[in-house]
Structure 1
Amino acid sequence: MSRYCTQCKKALKACICQWISPINSTTELLILQHPSEERRPLGTARILSLSLVNTRVLVGEDFTDNETLNRVLDDDIETSVLFPAEHATVLHRQSSNHDGASPKRFILLDGTWKKAYKIWQLSKNLHALPQVKLPEDLQGDYRIRKAPSENSLSTVEAGYHLLSLVEPECNFGSLLSAFKNMIDFQIQQMPPDLYRKHYDND
Structure 2
Amino acid sequence: MSRYCEQCGKAKKACICSWIEVIDAKTELLILQHPSEVKRAIGTARILTLSLPNAKLFVGEDFSEHYELNVLLNDPMRDVYLIYPGEGAIPVSELTDSVVTKEKIRTLILLDGTWKKAYKMWQLSGNLHQLPTVSLDNAEQGNYRIRKSPKEQGVSTVEAGYLALSALEGDSNKFEPLLNVFSRMIEYQIRQMPEGVFERNYK
TM over 0.5: yes
Q: 1:154 and 2:160 equivalent?
A: no
Q: Which moved more, 1:187-196 or 1:53-62?
A: 187-196
Pairs within 5 Å for 1:16-35: 16-35=16-35
5 Å-filtered alignment, 1:159-174, equals 159-169=161-171, 171-174=174-177
- The DSSP-based 3-state class of the residue aligned with 1:192 is coil
Matched letter for residue 197 of structure 1: R
Deviation at 1:169, TM superposition (A): 3.8
CA separation of 1:137/1:48 partners in 2, compared to 1, >3 Å: closer, same or farther? closer
Name the structure 2 match of 1:125.
127
**Which amino acid is the alignment partner of residue 202 of structure 2?**
Y
- Where 1:75 maps in the other structure, the secondary structure is coil
Q: Look up the match of 2:51.
A: 51
CA shift for structure 1 position 20: 0.5
Report the Cα offset of residue 107 of structure 1: 0.5
Q: Distance in 1 between matches of 2:35 and 2:3?
A: 21
128-137 vs 14-23, which moves further: 128-137
Shift of 1:87: 1.1
Question: 1:183 aligns to what?
Answer: 186
Aligned residues, how many?
Answer: 199
Question: For residues 160-197 of structure 1, what are the alpha-carbon distances to aligned partners after superposition, in whole Å with 9 as ceiling and x for unaligned?
Answer: 00000001146100000000000000001112211111
TM-score w.r.t. structure 1 length?
A: 0.93
CA-CA distance at 1:150 after TM superposition: 2.4
Preserved contact between residue 16 and residue 178 of structure 1 (Cα < 8 Å): yes
Residues 136 and 151 in structure 1, CA contact (< 8 A), matched pair in contact too:
no
* Two-structure CA RMSD over aligned residues (Å): 1.9
**CA offsets 1:57-87 (integer angstroms, 9 cap, x no match):** 0000000111111111111200010000111
Structure 1 moving runs of 4+ over 4 Å: none
Unaligned runs of 5+ in 1: none
Alignment partner, residue 105 of structure 1: 107
- Secondary structure of 2:191's match? helix
* TM-score normalised according to structure 2 size: 0.93
2:34/2:60 contact within 8 Å kept: yes
